[in-house]
Structures are given as structure tokens and as C-alpha cells.
A and B are shown apart, each in its own frame.
Chain A
Amino acid sequence: MRRQTLFVVLGLVVVLLVACKAAPQVVEVTPTAAPVKLVMLTHWGEESVLKPMQARLEEYMRLHPNVTIEYQTVTFDQLLTKITTARAAGISPDVYHFYNLWLPEFVKGGMLAVPPEEVIADIKANYAAGSIQAVTYMDQIWGYPTEINTYQLIYNKKLLAEAGYDKPPETWDELKEMACKVTQVDASGKVTVAGFLLIPGWDSGVVHPFLSLLWSNGGEYLSPDGTQALFDSPEGLATLELQMEMIENKCIDLGISWGDFPNGKGGMIIMANWWRATLKDTFLDGYENVGVAPIPHGPNGQSSTLQYNWLFGVDNGSKYREEAWKLVEWLNTPAKEGEASPIGDFLTSALGAIPSRLSDQQVLADRYDEFLQAFVDSAAVARPEPVVPGGQEVKTTLQTEIEAAWYGQKSPEQALADATEEANRILAEKR
């Protein structure tokens, strides 16, 4: 009886193993004329950007009748999960648009296909050094740089004018003074308008503005080789203390965040250019009252800012790698001289982002409004977010510790010391 049970269970295990045997990772290169189905994944799923992107893909399919494109979108917070789980399940999209901070893990996992020579040559010839650096990891370019995002001080012109200011702050001292003067409190002592807004809960929302201020005070995030965290320096401490001082003086209310800025409940905030579309649609006092200025600088530095990039890459396991690269190349290359590339046009008109391709920046310059132009100008002083293994985890660690200080759970010194210790451990482990 026991032996029979054993045989049956063994039989089932064999069936299970056969069923679970992974499909061979043979990559066939399909002739161009044969029908090809490509799956593309991005986080451009909102109605305002979905249709413009679909229109461009339909154009590609019209020009290439043998190609069918399945366009998938997820929200930004789900993008990484979708890419990694699809990869683990063996159903990776052929093309994905992703945040360059994820490059080290993607490269380490052998997930990305090396671009063909002509793509690499095109990128080297037509993109700024910063954009090329942003899509390069371990001396290899991994895809087409697309949108550039930088951070700037975005302010409510009307609220600043009501407080007696006709121009935004340029230094930290001015920022503190103006933030407190813009702040409005009701009879019960509740802050109704916060002079300056922070973005708790969101790693990029906490860390990117912090780094923009840190770099504008002469501080450093990581060592040049990316192996050491340096944000517990005196400059780092001064940056956190700047925020703490405004919190303690009630010029920042942690309950009033970036979502309240369009409603006129915040005077100033440090945010990225991709926010433009939202502000244009929802800013209560009218989009013309949205001002953009360089990041105020600290006593030890000059105004600087953080830049991060996105790129289009092709999955290494794609059955149609060649066709996938052709699609990506078409999207990122102008059809004629003097025209914008389909992606450049999409980024500027639909998303309100800055395209990476230099010719797109020139051709589309007349479409930049005052808001976007300020961000384009900021690229001159922008520093790319370091792309290192464990970068995402270091960022979340720093966010957690900064928030611990904001909410009074730790002193700024302790928070930065703890963040540095943990970040160094992560960097050492992931090296």
C-alpha cells in the first residue's frame, strides 16, 4: 500500500516536473517580411498620453504591415513589478520603457539586449553626454534615452505676490523667510496655506528635492565610484536642518503635500517637469500663475539640481529582437531632417517632458512654454542621479530616515547617520 502511494506520488511529481520544465531560451531571428508581434510596455497609461502614443504605434504598423504591436501600460508604481514578474514568468514584453535607476539590476540579470551598432552610433552622435551617461552601465549603452526630468522650485505667483514678493527665493535664507511669510493660519491655529511643501511617503518625492538642495549646498550623495554614501556630511545635515527649521516654524505642514499645491494650499515646492500636464489641467489659480525658478542655493554652494532619465530597451529574450530595435529606432529618429522624432514630439506635446535627442530639443523649442523652458535651462546645472547597484534601496532608506527626522522620531544627525550606515551596507552587499 505504502509502495503504491509512493509510486503514485512519484508519478505525479514527474508529471509536475515535465510540465514545469522551462521553455528553451533559443532566440530566433525572424525574417522581416514574416508576421511579427511585438509587445511594448510603458507607464504612459493616462488618457491624455495613451491615445497620442497609440497613434504613433499605429503609424508604425501602417508603415510596416507585417508588424503588430500590443501596447501595454501600467502605472509607474507597478512598472517595475510588471517587468520583473513578466520576466520571471517568461512572458516579457519585447520593448520596455524604464527608469535608468533600474539598469544595474536589469543588466546583472541579463535582461537587456545589447543595441545594434547603428543604434549605438545614432545615440552617440545625437544625444548630450549626460543623456548617454544616463543609459550607460558598465561601459555599455543599453537603449535610447527618452524623457529627461529635472527638479526646480515651482511656486504660486499669486500667493507670493500676496505675501509681498515679486520674485522667487534664490538662497536658503530667502526660502525660509518667504515660506514663513506665505504661510497662512486660521483662527484655530491650523495651517491653511503652507509656505513650502514636502512630499512625504514617496521615495523620489523625498529624496530628489533633498538631493537638489544638498547639491545646491556643495554636498554629495555618493562617492564618485558609487561605493560610499556621503549624505551625513555637514552639508547634508544643513540640508535636513533647513527642512526641519521650516517644519518647526510651521512654514511646512506635513499634512499639506504636493496634491494640495494645485488647490492653492502651498506656496512653493521642489518638483519635476513631468508635473506640468497636471498643473496645466488642475491649477486652481490658473496655469499662468505657476512660476518656475532654480533651486535656492545654500551658503556653501551654487544652484544645482537632480536629473533622471528614462530609456527604451529591448528584452534579451525577445523572439523578435531585430524588429524590436527597428521599432525603437523608428520611434526615436526623425523621419526627415528638421522634424522631431515621434517620441520627441509625443514627449513634448502630450507629456510635457523634455526629450533627450538634441535635434528634438531644437526643433521643438518653440513649443516650450515658460514652465518647460525653465526646466530645459536647468539641464545646464543638473547632475544625473547616480546609477549604482542597490540605488533604489539606498533611496528608500534615505527617504525613511529623512521622514523619521521630519516626524520627530529621530534627530537629523541620527537620521542621516543611520541612513548612511544602512546605505553603505547595501552598496557593499550589491557591489
Chain B
Amino acid sequence: MSNRLRVLDVALPLARARRRLLPRRVLWAYLFVSPAILALLLFTVGPILFTLWVSIHNWNLIEPISQMPFVGLENYRYLLTKDAVFMRGLRNTFIFTICGVGTNTVLGLMFALLLNTRLRARVFWRTLFFLPIVTAPLALGMMWAVLLNKNYGLVNTLLGLSGIPQQPFLSSPNQALACIIAVAVYQYVGYYIIIYLAGLQGIPEEYYDAAAVDGANRWQSFWHITLPLLRPVLLFIIVTNTIGALQVFDIVFAATTGVAGETSGGGPAGSTMVVVLHMYNTAFKFFRMGRATAMAVILFVIIFVVTLIQLRLLRERV
């Protein structure tokens, strides 16, 4: 009992001292991280809350914020029940995402496997694939808009020389979205190749040697060694690529608004209209910031849910 009392005698002042010291340490810690927290509040949390706030109002971007009328969920109701362009934008965005992410994932892996071999001029090929990444998407979109021009584009000239019928490409509502997807894959596949290569080079060579000793062929090595060990990389690529693809804007804007930006974009006949482009037009062309922010919130929810599903499906196996 006396021993216990003695322990308490020592412990209580220590606890008191810790309580006295801790706040000061915590305060210092907060002081040091406060610039980062402030930046986070100012540039991330603030805009998100403001977006949510504007989405339940009618605001034309010009009127003072204090005067914008409250409309409740009207903007959401309109978008989900009446806005045919938004629905079309969603559809096109999903097609772009599924096709773009799928192609990037598969093509990126194929090229990475190729570049991971003892290929001649390997550095040259790696550089070649990576070059589009360092090009601005707007410049790339404009360049491809010229290359894919129906009448004077280089691609059609080459097709003509090869005896293949020339194509309308971006002038056709049936081909324009596919062209945009192809341009996006062209731009980003190099980035995913580099990620895959990093993953591939992290797989110990001994695993393949052991498999070869056991008589495994190349396909079996790929299926049972490479692919399972690349799963964390696959997860990263699919999740980040999906998030980016659902927010696609720049390439569509550049490739479909004309060289001088004279058109509204998303054409022909709305065949390449994506959610963010419609959001941009709604906000800055139609003076409907409330509706545009509601689109942003819906897109945020979609991205959030899709990402959660991907993480749930892929992480369990990683």
C-alpha cells in the first residue's frame, strides 16, 4: 500500500508537468504547420466549401456573392433530370475514361515489358514514349486537330498514299471521340510506361530464374510472377488515371474549339462534349456559376465513389 502511494506521489507531479509542457510543445507544432494548414484551408477546404455553397444558389459570377438567390437543390434536379448536354457529357466522359484507362493500362504494360528487355536503342525508345508527357496538352490537342484535319491533315495524306480511304476524324460525330481518346493515350501512355518500368525493375531476377528452373515458359512467368508483383503499380495507375480521365478537359477543349478558339468545343454535334467542358461553358459562357458548381459536386461524388470501388476491388488482392 505504501509502495503504491509512493508511486502515486511520483506519478502525479510527472503527469502535471507533462500537462504543463505538452500544450507548449503542441502549440509550437501547430505554429510550424500553420502555414501549411492555412494554405490548405485557403486553397483546398475553402474552395470546396464555397463550391458546395454556390451550388445551392443562382450566381452569375458578376453579382456580389451576398446577393445570390438561394435555390436549394434545384441546380442538381435540373442537371439530373433535364440537362441533356450534361447527360451526354457524362456518357462521353465515362466512355473516355473506360477506353482511355483500359488502353493506357494495357498498352503501357506491353510497351514497358518490351522496353524492359535488351532492346536496341532502349533509351531512345523510352525518351520517345515520354516526350508527349512534357508537351502541354493544349499544344498537343491543337497539333492533333491539324494533323487529323479531314482535308489537309497529314494523317489523311498518309492514308491516301497507302491506298486507305481518307477519314473525317474530328469532323465526324462517329469518330471524333475515338480520336480524342487516341490523342489522350498518345500523350499519357509514356508516363505509365515509366511507372510500369519502375515496378518491373523492382521484381528480383531470382524469381524468374527459379521459375525457369521449374520449367515455366514466358507466359507462365508473366502470369504468375510479373503480374501479381505489379499489382500495387496497377492499382496506382488505374486509380490515378481514372481520376484524371474523369476530369478530362484540356485535350477536348484544344482539339475541338478550333485553332483560334472560335468554336464552343465538344463538337461535332456534341459528340465530344465532356462534363468539365460543359461545366466551363455553363460557368463562363452562360453565367450560371451555381449550376456549374453543382456539376463539379456531382463529378466529385462520382470520382469519390469510383475510386472507393477501385480501391476495394484491387487493394484486397494486392
Residues of A within 8 A of B (CB): 1, 4-5, 8-9, 12-13, 15-16, 19-20, 75-78, 80-81, 84-85, 87-88, 105-106, 108-111, 188, 190, 200-203, 205, 254-256, 259-260, 263, 265, 390, 392-393, 396, 399-400, 403-404, 406-407, 409
Q: Mark B1-45, 1 if CB is under 8 A from A, else 0.
A: 000000000000000000000110011001000100110011000
Q: Check if B270 sits within 8 Å of A403, measured CB to CB.
A: yes
Q: Check if A105 sits within 8 Å of B151, measured CB to CB.
A: no
Q: Is B94 part of the binding interface, using a Cβ–Cβ cutoff of 8 Å?
A: no
Q: Check if B27 sits within 8 Å of A255, measured CB to CB.
A: no
Query: What separation, in Å, do the CA atoms of A407 and B150 have in the docked complex?
Result: 16
Q: Check if B27 sits within 8 Å of A16, measured CB to CB.
A: no
**26 examples of A-B residue contacts, CB within 8 angstroms:** A8-B30, A12-B37, A12-B41, A15-B38, A77-B260, A80-B284, A87-B62, A88-B62, A105-B60, A105-B62, A111-B62, A190-B166, A201-B256, A201-B258, A201-B264, A201-B267, A201-B268, A202-B262, A202-B264, A203-B264, A256-B151, A393-B288, A403-B270, A404-B269, A406-B269, A409-B173
Interface residues on B, range: 35 or more
Which chain A residues lie closer than 8 Å to B23 at the CB level?
4
Residues of B within 8 A of A (CB): 22-23, 26-27, 30, 34, 37-38, 41-42, 46, 60-64, 85, 150-152, 165-166, 168, 171-173, 256-265, 267-271, 281, 284-288
> Which residue on chain A has the smallest CB distance to residue B150?
A255
- Prevailing SS type, chain B contact patch: loop
Query: What separation, in Å, do the CA atoms of A260 and B153 have in the docked complex?
Result: 12
Q: Check if B270 sits within 8 Å of A400, measured CB to CB.
A: yes
Which chain B residues lie closer than 8 Å to A4 at the CB level?
23, 26-27, 30
Since A78-B261, A81-B284, A256-B151 are in contact, a sample of 18 more A-B pairs with Cβ atoms closer than 8 Å, ordered by chain A residue number, is: A4-B23, A4-B26, A8-B27, A8-B30, A20-B46, A75-B261, A77-B257, A77-B260, A84-B62, A84-B287, A108-B62, A110-B64, A200-B267, A201-B257, A202-B264, A203-B264, A205-B263, A255-B168
Q: Check if A109 sits within 8 Å of B60, measured CB to CB.
A: yes
> Which residue on chain B has the smallest CB distance to residue A189?
B165
> Which residue on chain B has the smallest CB distance to residue A110?
B63
Q: How far is the CB of B124 from chain A (nearest CB, A)?
A: 37
Q: Check if B173 sits within 8 Å of A12, measured CB to CB.
A: no
Q: Check if A396 sits within 8 Å of B262, measured CB to CB.
A: no
Which chain A residues lie closer than 8 Å to B263 at the CB level?
200-203, 205
Q: Check if B61 sits within 8 Å of A87, measured CB to CB.
A: yes
Q: Check if B62 sits within 8 Å of A109, measured CB to CB.
A: yes
Q: Check if A75 sits within 8 Å of B260, measured CB to CB.
A: yes
Q: How far is the CB of B158 from chain A (nearest CB, A)?
A: 16
* 5 residue pairs, one from A and one from B, having the closest CB atoms: A109-B62, A201-B263, A255-B171, A77-B261, A255-B150
Which chain B residues lie closer than 8 Å to A409 at the CB level?
173, 269
Contacts A12-B37, A75-B260, A85-B284; A260 near B151 (Cβ below 8 A):
yes
Q: How far is the CB of B96 from chain A (nearest CB, A)?
A: 19
Which chain B residues lie closer than 8 Å to A105 at the CB level?
60, 62, 287
> Which residue on chain B has the smallest CB distance to residue A78?
B261
Interface-central residue, A16, A87, A255, by most chain B CB under 10 Å: A255
Query: What separation, in Å, do the CA atoms of A12 and B42 have in the docked complex?
Result: 10
Which chain B residues lie closer than 8 Å to A188 at the CB level?
165
Interface-central residue, B64, B256, B265, B267, by most chain A CB under 10 Å: B267
Which chain B residues lie closer than 8 Å to A403 at the CB level?
267-270
Q: Check if B261 sits within 8 Å of A1, measured CB to CB.
A: no
> Which residue on chain A has the smallest CB distance to residue B273?
A400
Query: What separation, in Å, do the CA atoms of A205 and B264 have in the docked complex?
Result: 10
Contacts A12-B37, A16-B41, A407-B268; A84 near B284 (Cβ below 8 A):
yes
Which chain A residues lie closer than 8 Å to B37 at the CB level?
9, 12
Query: What separation, in Å, do the CA atoms of A203 and B63 have in the docked complex?
Result: 26
Q: Check if B264 sits within 8 Å of A108, measured CB to CB.
A: no
Which chain B residues lie closer than 8 Å to A84 at the CB level?
61-62, 284, 287
Which chain A residues lie closer than 8 Å to B26 at the CB level?
1, 4
